[in-house]
Structure 1
Amino acid sequence: MFHKLFQSKIVLTVLVSVCFIFQSYSQTKKLKRPKSRVGISSVDTFVQESFDLYEKVYKYDGYAQAGTPLDDEDIDVLEEALAEMTNLSDSAPDIISDLDGVGILKQGKATLQINKAKKALTYSIKTAKALLLGDKTKPEEDDKKTQETASNQKDEKDTTSDSDKKATDDTNIEAPKNISDDLEIYSKFDFVAGDELLFFEDFANDFIGDFPSRWNTNGSGEVVKINKVEGKWLQLKSGYNIHLIPDIIELPEDYTIEFDVLAEGLDNKTSSTGRLSVILSDNNKFNRGIEHYIEVSIPFGQYAAFDFRVKNFFNKDEGDINSAIKGDIRKEVLNQPHVSISVTKKRFRLWVNEIKHIDIPRLIEVENVLDHLKFQITNFKDGKEHIFISNLKVAKGGVDLRRKLLSEGKISTNGILFNSGSANIKPQSYGIIRQISQVLLQDESIKLMIVGHTDADGNDDTNLKLSKSRSEAVKEALINVYKIDGSRLVSEGKGESEPIADNTSPEGKAQNRRVEFIKQ
């Protein structure tokens, strides 16, 4: 009898111990994905993306709890998922605002699903951080507390206007509006392109369907032509850890990067994590960087306004900056935007069209280590959503055109750009014209000769007329936008007659397409 009682106590003790161990190392009970859709596209997309990420993190959490170590690829996936989850979580107030004016029953169902998705995101963010930090045994009660807190949070109402709330479903690719429609908006645009061209790419020498000859990738991409839009474009390939790298050997201390973007197939179901990332890296391999890099991602999601994401990484460690910067560019990304970037020592600035969205004085913590440029797109639907870039221009900066004009009496710049075959000035050129106007306003005795030059494409007579029209367009911009007295300006065109570089390469042609300002 005593022996049986003793055996029973041992069995009970073992069972209690097993239960305790199981509780200490088991995952929180898995949340169930809602089976039906609400019928509000922004809500349905938010819920679907939240649970897609939740299930990914839950799987890795299960590996960790079972004692299976995470390899480098698992860690990369988790890091990327964490950034996506943070973006998605930040968009929740915008999604809630879309319930205004919806019927009571549908609003109630949507609210329940949003709260469930928020609970999934809260778990996912907390768990992903713990896994990345190596804390793989999280007591169940901590997760319960986190979920209770999330479920009790008060839904926030966003105060954006109705026009901001409405996600556009326009998938047509539209050319930029004519610059003459609204000249005044460019008068304060302060981006100035670098003055020494390092790399120019319009894919003019590449065959349609090929991957461009002066780029590298670990994925895919091809040069294409698109109806209604001039020129050739590189179609980027979306995928995990896919990078597209132009053959730029070394970036200087001060420089500018410019490129045009084209988007097709975007609508209010485009993912909040659909992004184009620009990476400045310490190597030209297929990763963000080994010891140093910065990454800036541009949002393309359409069902709400999403943030620009900025991150720096130096000396093999997370940097001081991991930011989400507000900026509603939903309409801009549908209408062939121009992206301009200026790097001046540690300072990093980024404009989309003529609006500056990022200006961080010390984003680059260690100077002269970021020598390479990389592009990456993530979470676009294959076969439906397409992202293209063209007219990539990298130029060395550092010369103040105002001081050079005053000291030397003459400057030449290829930073004033025009639409192909026309004298319509591109908006991104107005920063340079603004600097010229500042010289003229500072010293009213100065008079300028404006001289236009072209490359050798086309015949001599056409190029001569085009160069004259372009120099006259710059003169008119100084008069109409910056209120310079026209009697102080003279325009002239020289066509292709005075090249300064080889007309057979893209860089050479770009250098020959220039405007000179000469003091009289």
Structure 2
Amino acid sequence: MKVARISTLVVGLALLALAEAGAQIRINSPGKVAERQAENRANRKIDQTIDRGFDKVEEGIGNIFKKKDKTAKEEKNDQKGTSAESSEDNTGGGSSEGRASGGTSTGGKAVEPAKPTLKAYSKFDFMPGEKIVAAEDFAQDAVGDFPAKWNTNASAEVVTIDGYDGKWLMIGKTSNASYIPEFINALPENFTLEYDLVYNNWNKEYAYQRRLLTTLHEVQDASQQINRDAAGRGATFAFDGKMGNGSVELVQTNKSGNYTDLRGINDYQPINPDNNGKVFHVALWRQKGRLRVYVDENKVFDFPRAFPTDIQLSAVRFHADISNDEAQVFISNIRLAVGAPDTRSKLITEGKFVTTGITFDVNSATIKPESFAVLKDIAATLTENASVKVKIIGHTDSDGDEASNLALSKKRAEAVKEALNKEFGVGSDRLQTDGKGESEPLTPNTTPEAKANNRRVEFIKL
């Protein structure tokens, strides 16, 4: 009878462990790195769970499947534990067979995590630069390859993740690894750097490091001291997963790439295991000596003296320290833009304002919430100049079908009109719309930067 109970225990716990190990972020990569990691993780969980089960049997805790009487407090605690466990199950993962949706799960069907709305960004004051000078979405790179325009002292590969747009650079277990976009070689006095970040299998264990650092620094050679997160004067921003909630950190660096005492840390609550699979939008904004850093709608740092007056920033470096086998971090949609848009002057004085700061989901007229500050600035200009009417014109790049791009550009212009009216109270009778599709590019659609600049919204004073 005891053998039968133990056999039942082994089978039951093995099935539970397999269910717990089910992946939600699924990566399409020829290397199948993530698939092997998921299999190893499942096997380890089965072994650990079975061992715990045998321990309980040997200690005389029999009939573990029998329902026991519980107090109201115990029931409540069990419900909370179940909720947290379900959340972790739904957002963990890492298998790579084929393509399937990423994010949270509903009835076995995975769906992308809920996206924030424009209203969530109501205090967001980030203004992206006027002209995009560098862009990276890895479109030109083959899945499974390391990106051609980058350098590293480690390894990583371009992947696609089901349920998420585009391609991503996947960084797995690594130590003191730098990833350098060599096409960025000048960072002027006024610029913005933005990118999207997703992490996977970040758990609550102290033993592991999970850090992605972004460094802006002054170096003669971008690969100088490549095994460190910085090699010269500048600033380093760290996105750090820790036990439970994680943190973000901003540190000034000196000539040797070492940290100075100008250092800040923010226990940023959203970095936690429940947000495995969430897309975080990171933005860094330099204005001469000042550096502001945003994660999603939150301004997490604002250093007025981050950079010395004589600094010549020349390179960007992403640096990773990830010490457990299953953990991964993904980055994409990198965008460097220069110059500060002057909405008021250009629209009212010059009669035309063009912005790439109003962005949309891929092949969609849904406005991304990080566009809030740009829309707010335009609305303020129109509110201050109550007699002014404008025509909103949408433009796309040349990817895709010409007719579809024309229709999309018109829908995007309408979406901007609706946002200005409903979110900011600008009268719809003052706003006309049109779309030009891909027919009026600013520059040929031959590079990621050119395409990003061609995806724009124009406001023409009537």
Please give the TM-score of this superposition, normalised by the length of structure 2: 0.72
- Choose which of 158, 166, 180 in structure 2 pairs with 1:231: 166
Match of 1:339 in 2: 282
Tell me if 1:408 matches 2:350: yes
Q: Secondary structure at the match of 2:393?
A: strand
Structure 2 counterparts to residues 186-265 of structure 1, below 5 A: 186-247=121-182, 248-265=184-201
Residue 215 of structure 1 aligns to which amino acid in structure 2? W
Aligned pair count reads 354
Whole-angstrom CA distance in 2 between matches of 1:267 and 1:333: 9
- 1:441-460 to structure 2, matched below 5 A, reads 441-460=383-402
Query: Are the counterparts in 2 of residues 300 and 333 from structure 1 also a CA contact under 8 Å?
Result: no
Whole-angstrom distance in 1 between the partners of 2:195 and 2:122? 21
Find out whether 1:296 has 2:231 as its counterpart: no
Cα pair 2:238 2:249 within 8 Å, conserved: yes
**C-alpha separation in 2, matches of 1:512 and 1:232:** 20
Give the whole-Å Cα distance in 1 for the aligned partners of 2:385 and 2:194.
Answer: 31
| Structure of greater relative contact order (alpha carbons < 8 Å, 6+ residues apart) | 2
Distance 1:229 1:325 in 2: 28
Whether the 8 Å CA contact 1:258–1:341 is kept in 2: the answer is yes
Cα distance change on mapping 1:240 and 1:272 into 2, 3 Å: closer
Q: Which residue of 2 aligns with 1:35?
A: none
* Cα RMSD, aligned residues only: 2.3
CA distance in 1, matches of 2:137, 2:308: 32
For residues 4-403 of structure 1, what are the structure 2 equivalents within 5 Å? 169=88, 170-171=91-92, 173-174=102-103, 175-178=112-115, 182-247=117-182, 248-269=184-205, 273-283=209-219, 284-285=222-223, 286=226, 287-301=228-242, 303-316=243-256, 318-329=259-270, 330=272, 331=274, 334-382=277-325, 384-403=326-345
The 10-residue stretch of structure 1 (263-272 or 183-192) with the greater mean CA deviation from structure 2: 263-272
Give the aligned residue type for 1:171.
G
CA distance in 2 between counterparts of 1:435 and 1:391 reads 24
Contact kept in structure 1, 2:252 and 2:306, CA below 8 Å: yes
More strand by share: 2
Q: Deviation at 1:270?
A: 6.8
Deviation digits for residues 313-346 of structure 1, max 9, x if unmatched?
Answer: 2344753412222321225564111111111111
Counterparts in 2 of 1:288 and 1:369: CA distance versus 1, 3 Å: farther
Residues 188-217 of structure 1: CA deviation (Å, up to 9, x unaligned): 321111111111001111111111111111
Q: Distance in 2 between matches of 1:194 and 1:300?
A: 29
What amino acid maps onto 2:234 in structure 1?
Y
| Aligned-partner SS, 1:435 | helix
State the distance in 2 between where 1:484 and 1:402 align: 15
> C-alpha displacement at 1:176, in angstroms?
4.9
Contact 1:272/1:306, CA 8 A, preserved across alignment: no
Higher deviation after alignment, 357-366 or 281-290: 281-290
Deviates more, 1:238-247 or 1:508-517: 238-247
C-alpha displacement of 1:416: 1.3
**Match of residue 120 from structure 1:** none
What is the alpha-carbon distance in structure 2 between the residues aligned to residue 404 and residue 332 of structure 1? 41
Offset, 1:380: 3.9
The one of 419, 422, 427 aligned to 2:361: 419
Taking a change above 3 Å as real, the CA distance of residues 410 and 343 of structure 1, as seen in their structure-2 partners, is same
Partners of 1:295 and 1:312 within 8 A in 2: yes
- Compared with structure 1, are the counterparts of its residues 364 and 350 closer, same or farther at alpha carbon in structure 2 (3 Å cutoff)? same
Using the TM superposition, give the Cα deviation of residue 400 of structure 1 relative to its aligned residue in structure 2, in angstroms: 2.4
Task: Tell me the percent identity.
Answer: 37
Query: Do 1:225 and 1:233's aligned partners in 2 also have CA atoms closer than 8 Å?
Result: yes
Q: Distance in 1 between matches of 2:308 and 2:260?
A: 8
CA offsets 1:236-277 (integer angstroms, 9 cap, x no match): 244332100112011111100111111122222375741111
Cα deviation, 1:73-112, whole Å, max 9, x if unaligned, reads xxxxxxxxxxxxxxxxxxxxxxxxxxxxxxxxxxxxxxxx
Largest Rg, 1 or 2: 1
TM-score between the two structures when normalised by the length of structure 1: 0.64
Task: Return the alpha-carbon distance in structure 1 between the equivalents of residues 331 and 316 of structure 2.
Answer: 14
Structure having the larger proportion of residues in helix: 1
Letter in 2 for 1:243: S
Counterpart of 1:239 in structure 2: which amino acid?
Answer: T
Instruction: Pick closer, same or farther for the CA change 1:178–1:388 going to 2, 3 Å.
Output: closer
| Contact 2:234-2:306 within 8 A present in 1 as well | no
Q: In the superposition, relative to structure 1, how do residues 228 and 359 fare at CA in structure 2: closer, same or farther (>3 Å)?
A: same
The answer to whether the 8 Å contact 2:216/2:315 transfers is: yes
The 3 A distance-change label for structure 1 pair 238 and 199 is: farther
Seen in structure 2, the aligned counterparts of structure 1 residues 203 and 291 have a Cα distance that, compared at 3 Å, is: closer
Instruction: Give the secondary-structure state (helix, strand or coil) at the position aligned to 2:412.
Output: helix
Q: Is the 8 A contact 1:452 1:468 kept in 2?
A: yes
Of the structure 1 ranges 227-236 and 365-374, higher mean CA displacement relative to structure 2 is found in 365-374
| Matching residue's letter, 2:444 | D
Counterparts of residues 414-493 of structure 1 (less than 5 Å): 414-493=356-435
Q: CA deviation at 1:441?
A: 1.4
